[in-house]
Amino acid sequence: MNQDLQDRYSNYYVDTMSLFLGENDISFTLYNINFENIAKLLEDTPQAVLGIRVQVNIAYEVRFKELSPVQDNINKNVVIGNNIDILRNIIKQLAEYFSIFIDNILKKLDYKIIITEFSSYLDLPLVSVFRSLIEQKVKEKKIMFYWVNRFNNISGIMHNIFHQTEYFYKDHSVLKWAKEGYNPNKLTKKNFLKFYKQKYSFKEIGDYYVRGIATYINLENMFIENIPLNEEGGYRGQKLKTPVNILVPKDKVNQQLEEFAKVTMDFWHYYQLETYSNGNLVFNMNQTNFDELVKSASVLEKKEK
């Protein structure tokens, strides 16, 4: 790969290589698979089956010109056993068992999970809730279970309550309710919130907003007695038998929306922002504020260089 990159970008990599591996940057960790405990879950587990999980870790650096090297690593799991067909069947049965196991837990919660930590990455707080529910039940069976905390462990339809965009859309801007220019009588926190909630209508269940609907769970990062719940390179998503509503308390979200609206409108009035249909924004400021802004921008530019 290094040679291919060097041939392709010879003007960049004259006497260096783009990817760097140190002497001890490739490691193998072996984990014994406890089939006796797996037999507690799958009664027809063959007694003669043996297997280990090999975790392959390759740490490397990406180098480019005088820029600081970027470090990363490749981490893969491989299952080795005395009968691969039986192992594959066990993994398949475990995945199905786990699907039913999770569904039974969620059924008792009426397929609703409440999260109090608000994050753009819904995955992280949701995984924490899922993990605690699963670990509690698995512990009762004295089964070893762990779930690597990574993004995309839970997927489905997620509703963005706080929207971020780099593009200008007239229907999403103050033009829709305050028209062109700067109209302080219309640019109020109350009008902002009214427009925002109408534009991004939130589905409600009782005292909660629906933050999202989880439909799939990623098995790639789940292990029972050191055996992964999916084959390496196989399909990683296990569809939940029943979609789960992810809820956030209304009062918590409303408080954040109030703060969001206040900060936005305070900023608008501070600079007496004028908005126009062509996407232009006009900032009105005195000379002192302008000089401070230019000074701050200059400092940032020097730091980047």
Alpha-carbon torsion, ordered 96, 98, 101, 105, to 10 deg: -130
Write phi, then psi, for 5 (nearest 5 degrees): -65, -40
Identify the pLDDT of residue 268.
92
Question: How far apart, in whole angstroms, are the C-alpha atoms of residue 16 and residue 10?
Answer: 10
Segment 170-196 mean pLDDT: 88
Per-residue pLDDT of 238-263, as tens digits, reads: 788 898 888 889 998 889 889 999 99
pLDDT tens digit string along 194-213?
A: 988 888 777 889 999 888 88
Asked if the model's pLDDT at residue 235 lies above 50, the reply is no
Are the CB atoms for 114 and 106 separated by under 8 Å?
Answer: no
Angle between helix axes 84-108 and 123-140 (nearest 10 degrees) is: 100
Residue 234 banded pLDDT, cuts 50, 70, 90: very low
In the predicted model, is pLDDT for residue 303 greater than 60? no
Residue 19 pLDDT: 77
User: For position 16, what pLDDT does the model report?
Assistant: 72
Given a contact cutoff of 8 angstroms between Cβ atoms, the answer to whether 115 and 86 are in contact is no
Tokens 């965009």 belong to which residue? 165
Higher pLDDT, residue 138 or 232: 138
What's the average model confidence in pLDDT over 254-281? 91
More confidently predicted of 18 and 267: 267
pTM, 2 dp = 0.66
- For the segment 98-153, what is each residue's pLDDT rounded down to a tens digit? 888 888 888 988 999 888 765 555 555 566 777 777 777 777 778 888 877 655 55
**Better-scored residue on pLDDT, 166 or 156:** 156
Q: Please write the tens of the pLDDT for every residue from 34-86.
A: 998 888 888 888 878 899 999 999 888 887 777 777 888 888 888 899 998 98
Q: What is the pLDDT of residues 210-220, one digit of tens each?
A: 888 888 887 77
**Does residue 233 carry a pLDDT above 50?**
no
Give the chain's mean pLDDT.
80
